[in-house]
């Protein structure tokens, strides 16, 4: 058996699911456009530079989930999927996932974006496992608390989360003939260094240079 891990944003998606969720909330009048877009630009520049404080980002990212009931959020998510996400899932991405599934590989999305936003996207792609940042909920009423639960799936945290998931299945890295991780970002170099076959997908400049220097496969799904 082989293992296939996929980053989501700007890898399987031709865009960023968290950014698109923010744009959807702006269109609904749920969040202030100027504030949201200014903070998004600030965080994105930090992300590109590799200096993003994931906890500061998550505090901002998860805050809108605390202001609305789950039924309302779920209803919005269906509209978000139709308007913002399905249009940025390309045929090449679907075909890549399909080949791994048809081969019987163990497949998972590994993403820093929270699992409320990304869960239905994994389902849309037919990927059975999602390792995303988990938004904590209030046990009394099931409402989102605005805090992450456990280790965010970001940078080295992706290794921690993947290894914990594998252990829960009674597996480890040595259980697989081949392990593959597809990503666009240099922030994913820690996990890319753990697999036997790292693949740079439409990579940022830092990842492209690293991939070229180390002879890694470079792939475009656009």
Task: Give the active site residues.
Answer: 7, 9
User: By the 8 A CB rule, do 161 and 110 touch?
Assistant: yes
Question: Which of 60, 55, 42, 63 has its CA nearest to residue 154?
Answer: 55
Q: How far is CA 164 from the centre of its chain?
A: 17
**Which pair of structure tokens corresponds to residue 66?**
């605390």
**Which pair of structure tokens corresponds to residue 216?**
């890694």
**Which pair of structure tokens corresponds to residue 141?**
């009423």
**Which pair of structure tokens corresponds to residue 40?**
């998004």
Q: What is the dihedral of CA 212, 216, 217, 218, to 10 degrees?
A: -40
User: By the 8 A CB rule, do 133 and 113 touch?
Assistant: yes
């Amino acid at each position: 058996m082989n293992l296939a891990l996929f980053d989501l944003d700007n890898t399987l998606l031709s865009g960023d699911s968290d950014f698109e969720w923010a744009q959807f909330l702006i269109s609904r009048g749920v969040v202030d456009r100027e504030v949201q877009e200014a903070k998004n630009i600030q965080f994105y520049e930090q992300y590109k530079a590799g200096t993003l404080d994931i906890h500061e980002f998550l505090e901002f990212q998860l805050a809108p989930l605390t202001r609305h009931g789950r039924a309302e959020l779920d209803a919005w998510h269906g509209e978000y999927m139709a308007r913002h996400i399905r249009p940025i899932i390309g045929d090449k991405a679907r075909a890549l996932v399909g080949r791994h599934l048809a081969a019987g590989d163990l497949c998972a999305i590994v993403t820093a974006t929270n699992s409320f936003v990304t869960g239905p996207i994994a389902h849309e792609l037919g990927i059975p496992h999602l390792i995303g940042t988990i938004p904590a909920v209030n046990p009394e009423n099931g409402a989102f608390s605005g805090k992450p639960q456990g280790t965010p799936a970001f940078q080295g945290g992706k290794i921690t989360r993947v290894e914990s998931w594998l252990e829960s299945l009674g597996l480890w890295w040595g259980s697989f003939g081949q392990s593959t991780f597809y990503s666009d970002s240099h922030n994913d170099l820690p996990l890319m260094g753990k697999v036997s076959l790292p693949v740079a997908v439409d990579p940022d400049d830092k990842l492209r240079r690293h991939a070229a220097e180390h002879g890694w496969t470079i792939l475009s799904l656009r």
